[in-house]
Amino acid sequence: MNTNAPQTIEAQIRDQVAAYCESADVPGFVAGVYQAGEQIIVAHGTANVATGAPMLPDTGFLFGSVTKVLTTTLVLQQVERGVLDLDAPVTTYLPDFALAVPGAADKILVRHLIGHTNGIDADLYFPGDKGRDALAAYVKGLASGCGTLFEPGEQLSYSNGGMIVAGRLLEVVTGLSFPELLARDVYAPVGMTNSSTSAEQAILRSTAVGHFPDPETMEPKPTNMFTLPDTWGPAGGTPIGTIADLLAFGRTHLAGGLSPSGTRVLSAESTALMQRISFDMGSPNTPPIGLGWVLYPFGETTVLAMSGASPGGVSILCVVPEHDLVFTAYGNNPAAIMLQDQLLGWLLSEHLGVRIPKLVTELEQDVDLTPYVGTYRSNQLRVDVSIVDGQLEERVTYEPADASQEHIFTEFAGGATSAPPQRYVPIRPGLFAPEGYPLEAFDGYLRLLLVSFHDVRDGQTRFRNGGGRLTRRV
């Protein structure tokens, strides 16, 4: 950062955060920026409206899916040590790994787990097991309850299941539980001194809780569920820490695997491998994927990113190697993702001078909608696509597998598991924008709101892609 840059960034973020939180009823928000040896952290508002506890610079929060980059780091460490081979079948190390489709698990390689190309259809699979055997129970349940979306390596679909299987794989080859391994091989060498993996540990220090709008008053109300079950740990269910901790982790990946304290966490080769494109859908709403990282193109600049939802909260971690910058933030209301997108856009365009081209410049008329009409499914999710008044319309329905999973998902979603029908307007064949949004809304992180359709066969598409997740035509 140049002279006065830290103060300028801090003032800008503080003003932007205060204005947005007031207008969008986000109780609390905390953000941090590191660049070229300088670091600032801004905290605003309330960590828990039930207690009135303030959001402080060192308030802890749930990492959510940001954890996936930590899990990938653990996998690459074991590859470096010769314990794992990225191109070996998962069943080499985890012989009891199976899916509901006979033989399907045998084709999945270790790299498919952390590259979101495994095809495991388990994105909403929420078993509630607890304790040391939680991941073993998760993997066991896959064999009877979860099939496949596609052949491994054929497509890209954001995969919670793949990361959780990777977590169990790590337990088997190291002999440690996932929380123990995370603490030993990431938290400690990175210097994440305020990070933990359980509510029992988090309660010993200041920790934020998520909030949802009260259905009657629409005022922010604390979530009824602090964390997802232990079964979701490696995908982001349980790890908790601070902005300073995530900045330290981001700086480690900026520095080729060397932590701020000088401890070698990962080799430069492995760090670079995580940042290299391993699969590209070629669709604007789904950025290319590395290993662990999603590689967002902003013009000529690549942002390594991962966002994470937790019950009533959302986090984000962004690393910009070309500008030696790390940005991370957490807000304790799902609406905070819009603020995170705004802050990232400001940092890139105004602070760094990155020219961000328009992702969508115009809408195409007269697109044939018939190839997209039909029903698409993935684990416990149904999407019905139809043509209404000459427009594409989607109805998304949650179809719980059992009462336990329904309870967990309902709490995770804040009680609302259904949404009104959504109309979409064509950008071009196979790519659609939700009706009513200004086109510039999709230039940043919120390009995930676009919907795409892929793999046309006999005049019909096989896959729908929403938020980076695939559903398959049935």
Identify the band that residue 176 occupies on the pLDDT scale cut at 50, 70 and 90.
Answer: very high
* 145-171: pLDDT as tens digits: 899 999 999 999 999 999 999 999 999
Q: What is the CA radius of gyration of the chain?
A: 21
pLDDT of residue 320 exceeding 50: yes
What's residue 7's pLDDT?
86
Closest-CA residue to 282 (of 462, 150, 155): 155
Annotation: CATH topology of 1-357: Beta-lactamase (3.40.710)
Q: What is the DSSP letter of 260?
A: T
pLDDT of residue 416 exceeding 80: no
| Domain residue ranges of the chain, discontinuous segments joined by + | 1-357, 370-473
What's residue 2's pLDDT?
46
Identify the band that residue 419 occupies on the pLDDT scale cut at 50, 70 and 90.
Answer: confident
Instruction: Output the six-digit token pair for 341.
Output: 């997108």
**Inter-residue contact 444 to 356 (CB < 8 Å):** yes
Q: How far is Cα 210 from Cα 360, in angstroms, rounded to an integer?
A: 33
> What average pLDDT score do residues 97-107 get?
97
Could you please report the per-residue DSSP string of 69-85?
HHHHHHHHHHHHTTS--
Chain centroid to Cα 32, Å, comes to 18
> What average pLDDT score do residues 274-301 get?
96
What's residue 26's pLDDT?
98
Question: What three-state secondary structure class fits 184?
Answer: helix
Write the CB contacts of 100 (distance below 8 Å, at least 6 apart in sequence): 142, 143, 144, 145, 146, 147
Chain centroid to Cα 198, Å, comes to 19
Q: What share of the chain is helix, strand, coil (3-state, %, to 5)?
A: 35, 25, 40
Residue 389 class from Cβ within 10 Å (0-12 exposed, 13-18 middle, 19+ buried)? exposed
Task: Compute the residue count for the chain.
Answer: 474
Identify the band that residue 257 occupies on the pLDDT scale cut at 50, 70 and 90.
Answer: very high
Write the CB contacts of 458 (distance below 8 Å, at least 6 apart in sequence): none
What's residue 4's pLDDT?
58
pLDDT of residue 1 exceeding 60: no
From residue 33, give the alpha-carbon distance in Å to each of 163, 194, 446. 27, 18, 20
> What average pLDDT score do residues 377-384 get?
97
Other beta carbons less than 10 A from residue 74's beta carbon: 24
The Cα angle at residue 261 between residues 257 and 264, in degrees rounded to 5: 30
* 54-90: pLDDT as tens digits: 999 999 999 999 999 999 999 999 999 999 999 999 9
Instruction: Output the six-digit token pair for 125.
Output: 């699979």
Angle between helices 268-275 and 243-254 (to 10 degrees): 100
Residue 415 class from Cβ within 10 Å (0-12 exposed, 13-18 middle, 19+ buried)? middle
pLDDT of residue 173 exceeding 90: yes
Question: What three-state secondary structure class fits 32?
Answer: strand
For the chain, how many helices (H) and strands (E)? 12, 19
Positive/negative CA dihedral, 310, 314, 319, 325: negative
* 121-145: pLDDT as tens digits: 999 999 999 999 999 999 999 999 8
Q: What is the DSSP letter of 389?
A: T
Indicate whether this model's pTM tops 0.85: yes
What's residue 178's pLDDT?
98
Write the CB contacts of 466 (distance below 8 Å, at least 6 apart in sequence): 383, 451
What's residue 418's pLDDT?
80
Instruction: Output the six-digit token pair for 276.
Output: 């290299």
Place of tokens 């035509």: 473
CATH of 370-473, one of 2.60.40, 1.10.1740, 3.30.160, 2.40.128: 2.40.128
Instruction: Output the six-digit token pair for 259.
Output: 């932590």
**Inter-residue contact 306 to 294 (CB < 8 Å):** yes
Q: How far is Cα 115 from Cα 158, in angstroms, rounded to an integer?
A: 9
Write the CB contacts of 335 (distance below 8 Å, at least 6 apart in sequence): 24, 25, 26
* 423-474: pLDDT as tens digits: 999 999 999 999 999 999 999 988 999 999 999 999 999 999 999 999 999 9
pLDDT of residue 244 exceeding 90: yes
